[in-house]
Amino acid sequence: MAGDLRAQRFADIWRSAPLFRQLREGPLGGKCGVCEYRALCGGCRARAFALTGDVLAADPSCAYDPTGNETLIEPARAIAYGDDFTPALVWADAARERMERIPSFVRGW
């Protein structure tokens, strides 16, 4: 258990609980630890824990075999709880126009 929301604020639990610190800062194990997509993906921590008992173990359901090369994709910047969010990806004009042609009941907007 990471904390009790009835007794602590979520932000305090998020910042100080050993489990959440481990998830944010701990080194991933197995192939997830050497995967060039680890900064973007990181694998499923819940599945790793459920099947191995180690929250930082490799995701056993991942079919990708990492090459071990340097990380290919890095996040644009670190995002912390409570920070303002600015999307890094922006729709191209042609893509936006194409989306606008889709009826709103299909888009769900």
Residue pLDDT, tens place only, 58-83: 999 999 988 876 656 555 556 666 67
pLDDT averaged over every residue in the chain: 82
Contact 61, 47 (CB under 8 A): yes
Confidence of residue 7 (pLDDT cuts 50, 70, 90): very high
Confidence of residue 23 (pLDDT cuts 50, 70, 90): confident
Contact 74, 36 (CB under 8 A): no
Question: Does residue 109 carry a pLDDT above 60?
Answer: no
Number of other CB atoms surrounding residue 43 within 10 Å: 24
CA angle 49, 55, 58 (to 5 degrees): 85
Q: How far apart are CA 50 and CA 15, in angstroms?
A: 24
Structure tokens at 81: 């709880």
